[in-house]
Structure 1
C-alpha cells in the first residue's frame, strides 16, 4: 500500500468518524433507548444499541466484537438488555436518534444542502464497495436496510465504514498478540485516544487489572516505567495502524482518487460543524488537555 493510499484511507476515517460517533453522546439517543424499553442509559444502552444489529447475542459475542471492554462489565448488561427491548426496536431507535441529533447539531441549512446529499451518495458508494468476509460487526450492520433520507444515508454509511475499519483493526491487534486490555493500554500510551483514567473507567477495568496489564507490557518491552511506549511499542502500534489502513482501503480504492478526495473535502465541513455544536464532551481525549 503506497503512502498516498494510506493517507487517503486514514484521512477519510478521521473526517467521517465524528459524524458517526455523535450517537454515543447525543441525549436524543438515550431518550430513544428508554422509549424502546431499556430501563437506563449508559453502558447498557451502548452495548445493546451497538450490538443490536447482531441480534440477541450473548455477552461473549459482544465482548469479542467490541474487544477492549471488560467482559465482566458486558455480562452485567447482555443478554439482560434483550429482555427489555428487542434488537429490532433498538436498531430503529438508534437510527431515528442519529437523525434527530444530526439535525440539531448541523442545522437545517446544512441538512438540506446539496453538499450533504452529495456526501451521502459518495459514502454510500464507498460502503457498498466492501466485502463482509471476516468482519462480523460490519456484516451485521451491512445487513440492515438502507434509509432513504440523505441525512440517515450519510450516518448509516459512516457507521458501516467505521465498523469495517474496526473489524480490520481488531484482526491486526490479534495478530500482534494484543488482547483487549493491553490493546487499550498501548493505545492510550500513544497520546491519541482517551486519557488513561477515562479509558480504564469507561471500559470497565479495575486499577489492579490495568496495573497488571502495564506490568506485562513492561516485561515485554512495549512500555517503559512511566507507561510510555518504548521504541518497540511505538513500532508495534505504527505497524498496527498501517495494517488497519491497508485492511480498510478497499472502499476508497474502489471509489477512486477523485471521489475519495471529494469525500474528504465535504466531510471536513460536516465534522467541524458537529464538533463546534458541542457534540462531544470536553476532557475525554488526550488532545483536549
Structure 2
C-alpha cells in the first residue's frame, strides 16, 4: 500500500462506496421508513453513533453543508431507530454484493480477502477517531463478503477521521477543504461538489474569497504555491495517520490484499455497482 491514497481508492474504495449507490441498500433503508433522497446516506452512515443530532453528523462527515444535514437528521430517528437502520444497511449490502459478485461471492478469493481485511482492521485504533470507533463497536457479520465490506468500511472511516484531523490542523473548514480539493484538479468538478455537498454558489464564492485572502487560491480559483504546499501537508499527515492497518499486515500480506481488492473492485464496478455517469462527475 505504501501510503498511497490512489492505490487505496482503486483497490478498496469501491467495495465500501457501493453501499451509497446500490439500489438494494436504498430499498432496504427506505423500506424501514426512511425518506428517499439524502436521508438514507446520512442516517445509514451515522447510525453506528446512535441517536445523534445534526451537529455531530456534520462534524464527523465534515464537508457537507450542516443545513443540509439538519433537514434529515434527527428526523430520521423518528422514522427508524439506529439499530433498524444498521440492520437494514447490512441486509442491503448483502443483497447488493450477492448480485454484483454472483457465484464469486462464495469464492476462496472473497474469503481470503475478508480474513486479511479483518486482520488489517485490527491495526486501527479508536483514539480521536469517532466515526471509526462507532463502527468498530458494531458486531462482525458472519458471511465472508460482509466481513470484507465491514472491514473495508472500518479502514475507510479510520482513514477519514485522520484526514479530518489533518484538515483541522491546517486550518481548513469543511467547505474550504472541499474547495481546495476541487482546486487540485483531482476531485469533483465544482458543480458536482456544490450539488452533492449542498453548498450554494454564494457560500462557495465566500469560501474562495477567504482562501484568496490567505494566499491559497489565485484569481482563477487555482491553488497557489502556498495552497499546493498546504494540500501536500494535509495528504502527508493523512497518510501518516492511516498506516496502522498496513503496518499490522506487513508488506507481503498488504500486497496480497491489494491484489484481491483490485480484482473484486473491478468485478463490482463492471457488474454495475455505480450508476452510469458517477465517475464522469469527477475530473479525469
TM (normalized to structure 2)? Answer: 0.96
Residue of structure 1 equivalent to 2:231: 237
Deviation at 1:5, TM superposition (A): 3.4
What SS does structure 1 have at the residue aligned with 2:3? helix
Q: Does 1:30 align with 2:26?
A: yes
Residue of structure 1 equivalent to 2:176: 182
Per-residue Cα deviation, 1:253-288 (whole angstroms, up to 9, x for no partner): 11111110101111110111112222223132112x
Deviation at 1:105, TM superposition (A): 1.6
Residue of structure 1 equivalent to 2:79: 84
The 2-side partners of 1:14 and 1:139 are apart by 24
Residue of structure 1 equivalent to 2:202: 208
Deviation at 1:10, TM superposition (A): 5.7
> Between Structure 1 and Structure 2, how many residues are aligned?
281
The 2-side partners of 1:26 and 1:284 are apart by 18
Residue of structure 2 equivalent to 1:61: 56
Q: Does 1:41 align with 2:36?
A: yes
Q: Please show how residues 1-289 of structure 1 align to structure 2 within 5 Å.
A: 5-7=2-4, 11-38=7-34, 40-108=35-103, 110-281=104-275, 282=277, 283-287=280-284
Deviation at 1:20, TM superposition (A): 0.4
Deviation at 1:6, TM superposition (A): 2.4
Query: What is the root-mean-square deviation in Å for CA atoms of aligned residues?
Result: 1.3
Per-residue Cα deviation, 1:7-66 (whole angstroms, up to 9, x for no partner): 4x762354111100001111111110111121x222111111100000000110000000
Structure 1 unaligned segments of length 5 or more: list them. Answer: none
Moved over 2 A (4+): 4-7, 9-14
Structure 2 unaligned segments of length 5 or more: list them. Answer: none
